[in-house]
Amino acid sequence: MCSEKSIGQQVKEARERLGLSQSELAGRCRLNIRTIQRIEHKEVKPRLYTLRILDEVLNAGLIGDEDDKMEQEELISLQKEFERKRRIRMGLFIAFVANLAFALIMILSNVPKVVFAPFVYLIAFAIIIGIGVVWRCPGCNGLLGDLFNSNYCPKCGLRLKE
C-alpha cells in the first residue's frame, strides 16, 4: 500500500483528474461523503476494502499486490464480527418475542397490567435498543438494511457474507 500520508492526496488528485466532486465520488463508491473528505484531509487511515472500492472507481493504483493478504485477513475478521452480531440480533429478536408472549400470558391470566406492564415495556425497549446497536456494519458502523439477511453494507459496500 502507498504511504499513509500520500493516500489522501492520491485520492484527491485521481478524483480531480476524472472531474468528479467529492459527492459524485462518494455516490459512485457507495461511501459517505464524509468518508471521502476524511480520507482526502488525512483525518483517517482508510480500511483496505475502502481503498479497494476507491481504487476500482478511480483506477489510481492505491493498492498493491502485497496488500491482498492483509485485505483478506481484515475482511475475514469483519465477516466474523458480522456473524457474531447477527447471532446477537437473532437472540434479541427471540427475547423480544418471548417478552411479548409473556405479556400476552399475563393479560390472558387476568393479572392487572399495573403489575407487569412497566417491566414488559422496559424489557421491550431495552431489546429494541440492543438490536439497533448490533444492527450495524462492523466496518463503517452504518445501519444495515435487512435485519436478518444482510449480505452487504449499503453504506460502505462491504460484502458481509459470501
Quick: pLDDT tens for 114-149.
888 898 999 999 998 888 888 887 877 777 766 666
CA distance 75 to 158: 8
pLDDT of residue 76: 82
pLDDT of residue 99: 92
Lowest mean pLDDT segment, chosen from 47-51, 75-79, 146-150: 146-150
pLDDT of residue 68: 61
List the Cα angle 162/154/83 in 5-degree steps.
40
Lowest mean pLDDT segment, chosen from 15-19, 51-55, 108-112: 51-55
Assess whether pLDDT exceeds 60 at residue 66: no
DSSP label at residue 144: P
Instruction: Give the global pTM.
Output: 0.57
The burial of 67, by beta-carbon neighbours within 10 Å (0-12 exposed, 13-18 middle, 19 or more buried), is given as: middle
CA distance 132 to 97: 16
Query: Which residue is associated with the grid cell 390472558?
Result: 108
pLDDT of residue 94: 92
Assess whether pLDDT exceeds 80 at residue 14: yes
User: Please, what is the average pLDDT of the chain?
Assistant: 81
Confidence tier at 101 by pLDDT (50, 70, 90): very high
Confidence tier at 56 by pLDDT (50, 70, 90): confident
